[in-house]
Amino acid sequence: MTKLRTALIGCGAVARDEHLPALADMDDVEVVALCDRDAARAQSLASRHRVPRTFTSLETLLQETRPDLVHVLTPPESHKDVAISALEAGAHVLIEKPFTYDVSDADAVVATAERCGRKLTVVHNDLFHHGIREMKDRIEAGAVGQVCRVMFMSGRRDQTFIPDRWYFSTYGGRLGETLPHALYQLVEFFDDLEVKYVAVRKLGQVIPPPGVDATSILADELVVELWSQGRSASAHITYSMNFELPPALIVAGTAGSLFVHPDTGASAISNDPPGLRDMLKTLPAWGDAVRRRVQARTEKPEDRIRASTHYRQIREFVTSILAGTPYSVTPRKAREVVRLWADVVMRYAGER
């Protein structure tokens, strides 16, 4: 079996918790090297996952190991240079979001991939939730008619799960770091969105992780309105760090509306109070969600890994490279997310 020789650049939490466990479960992948400016961190992670070599220099890694695939897991400030170096060395490239901070950098990476004949993708992992995929299938089958409005909402007051202060200090702050998750879901429905309204506010109810001063947080509430001129439709984003609201996506159309929480699947929205029969129809979806949560506590480690949305996207990209099949998150989509992201963040964070 041909194995895809893979290197990871950046050995932070996402490498440790998502990328390395996912790659370790793939028989057609061989992780040949890790790279990080912190040599001790790279060596510790390599020892845990039996990766044979570590580097502190990207150029040396590329010259000595010649990987087929490079995962760029560094902060966004370095994504452009790291990705271009990897592409020019002959590797396909997968980049963690945010892709880049501005469109010109994204365009430079995309142009390099095209010139070098290499594949490029960006982690848009929430698109790989079962509920999101079910919703897309139902919409393509005509469940809502013509899409008129798409709304994304999410709230999480308790931010203590954040593994690194970088998430709060990056350009745009914590809201900017998580904003791509909303934007790439909207881009799945529209290819001509324009930002029409942005509002941010600081309410101060966020519970920050250790080492993060709550007073240093730029903003903890974000509202964005977007329009699609060609589709005569609109989109909306609400993010909050002041209350708990599980991520939800609502798609409204001329023939009906669908609501999806990633764990539960897509449910139709009715203007009338649901009857007992309608309520019973929702039980299987909620039951499936409960069963998945219970199984997550008892299932084998490899089953938990394969349930990860990171795993599903990485698996799709690896298969695309080895078998020449299509993959979901194209450079065009990734570039479109950067264009919208830069517009939103510039409106509240200003010049970098």
Among the listed residues 81, 124, 87, the one whose alpha carbon sits nearest the alpha carbon of residue 105: 81
Query: Average pLDDT for residues 121-144, to the nearest whole number?
Result: 94
Separation between Cα atoms, residue 82 and residue 34, nearest integer Å: 14
**Domain extent at residue 11:** 4-122+314-330
Q: Are residues 67 and 209 in the same domain?
A: no
Asked if 157 and 210 sit in the same domain, the reply is yes
Looking at residue 184, its amino acid is Y
Please indicate, yes or no, if residue 95 is contained in any of the structural domains: yes
Asked if residues 94 and 30 have their Cβ atoms less than 8 Å apart, the reply is no
Q: How many structural domains are present in the chain?
A: 2
Looking at the domain assignment, is residue 166 inside a domain? yes
Q: Would you say the pTM of this structure is higher than 0.75?
A: yes
pLDDT (0 to 100) of residue 351: 74
Same domain, 208 and 145: yes
Instruction: State the CATH number of the domain containing residue 247.
Output: 3.30.360.10
- Tell me: do 244 and 262 sit in the same domain: yes
For 201-229, the pLDDT digits (tens) are: 999 999 999 999 988 898 999 999 999 98
Q: Is residue 260 part of a domain?
A: yes
Instruction: Let me know if residue 97 belongs to a domain.
Output: yes
Structure token pair of residue 78: 């370095």
Who's near 191: CB < 8 A, 6+ residues apart? 230, 336
Do residues 46 and 161 both lie within one domain? no
Residues 287 and 200 placed together within one structural domain of the fold: yes
Residues 101 and 202 in one domain: no
Question: What are the CA-CA distances from residue 97 to residues 73, 177, 178, 247 (Å)?
Answer: 9, 8, 9, 18
Rg (Cα) of the chain, in Å, rounded?
21
CB 136 within 8 A of CB 221: no
Task: Give yes or no for a contact between 154 and 248, defined as CB atoms under 8 angstroms apart.
Answer: yes
Interval 293-300 mean pLDDT: 54
Considering the domain architecture, whether residues 166 and 292 belong to the same structural domain is answered as yes
For the chain, where are the E strands, in sequence order? 4-9, 29-35, 53-55, 69-72, 92-95, 120-122, 147-155, 193-201, 221-228, 233-240, 245-253, 256-261, 265-269
User: Above pLDDT 90, what percent of the chain?
Assistant: 80
Q: Are residues 214 and 285 in the same domain?
A: yes
**Residue 340, domain member (yes or no):** no
The verdict on whether omega for the bond into residue 98 sits within 30 degrees of 0, i.e. cis, is: yes
Q: Under a CB-based contact definition with an 8 Å cutoff, are residues 126 and 310 in contact?
A: no
Same domain, yes or no: 78 and 146: no
Task: For residues 236-260, give the mean pLDDT.
Answer: 94
**226 and 150 in contact (C-beta within 8 Å)?**
no
What letter would DSSP give residue 207? B
Is residue 351 domain-resident? Answer: no
Task: Check residue 299 and give its pLDDT.
Answer: 56
User: Do residues 215 and 321 both lie within one domain?
Assistant: no
Classify residue 159: in a domain, yes or no: yes
The CATH number given to whatever domain includes residue 8 is 3.40.50.720
30 & 113 share domain: yes
Q: Is 131 contained in some domain?
A: yes
Average pLDDT over residues 236-249: 95
Contact 218, 332 (CB under 8 A): no
pLDDT in tens, 93-126: 999 999 999 999 999 999 999 999 999 999 999 9
d(CA 325, CA 241): 39
